[in-house]
A and B are shown apart, each in its own frame.
Chain A
Amino acid sequence: NAGVMQNPRHLVRRRGQEARLRCSPMKGHSHVYWYRQLPEEGLKFMVYLQKENIIDESGMPKERFSAEFPKEGPSILRIQQVVRGDSAAYFCASSPTYHEQYFGPGTRLTVT
């Protein structure tokens, strides 16, 4: 059973560009979570999605950030007009129901 997959693993964007981060949950998992990790910081919750629904986006900045988990395909975290402060590691986790969350390897975003 393949684990949570994220791509790309590394992403470099210039200020003002858009970043798209993809997450494919584990087979059978319908819950997806996105977290952000800054250097020397713990992981911070951003958003929790189920298929076609955003359940909790309380940790996501109101502007420039959006997330989706369509009926078919991976979950997407999109950051528009990136700024240097968006540079971080972004992790996706999945779970089948109310259960432990399993993390992907992350996408390291660098904004130049």
Chain B
Amino acid sequence: TQLLEQSPQFLSIQEGENLTVYCNSSSVFSSLQWYRQEPGEGPVLLVTVVTGGEVKKLKRLTFQFGDARKDSSLHITAAQPGDTGLYLCTSRGGSEKLVFGKGTKLTVNP
């Protein structure tokens, strides 16, 4: 079973700062998704990466997929309070089910 480790587990920063969170696997990802979950809500899909070395940008968010497809990072530039949430990485664990990391809980203070 593929294990996903996310770091850091908790991150508290001030508005305007930059940050990077990481997702690492014990084995190669077939594809990887990043989700953001706000308190009391379901996860919302941010991006899917498939190709090793791939970089995708979503406004102030930059997602990178490692060349060997065993790790990924999410970089947020000039964080805003609206970025607060739980960031989850996930990949398919066979039979189309998703395997999730425990997430990084981000708090952006105004």
Contact across chains for A91 and B42 when beta carbons are under 8 A apart: yes
| Majority SS at the chain A contact face | strand
A56-B42 in contact given A42-B88, A42-B102, A42-B103 (Cβ < 8 Å): no
Number of A residues near B (Cβ < 8 Å) is: 28
In the complex, the answer to whether A106 meets B97 with C-beta atoms within 8 Å is: no
State which residues 84-110 of B face A: CB under 8 Å.
88, 90, 93, 95-103
Tally of chain B residues near chain A (CB < 8 A): 21
CA distance A106 to B37 in the complex (A): 11
With a cutoff of 8 Å between Cβ atoms, the chain A residues found around residue B35 in the complex are 103
Q: With A and B bound together, what is the CA distance between A38 and B110 in angstroms?
A: 29
| Contact between chains at A59 and B97 (CB < 8 Å) | yes
Residue of B nearest to A103 (CB): B42
Q: Is the CB of B44 within 8 A of A103?
A: yes
Q: 8 A-B Cβ contacts within 8 A?
A: A33-B97, A42-B100, A43-B88, A45-B99, A91-B42, A98-B96, A101-B45, A105-B41
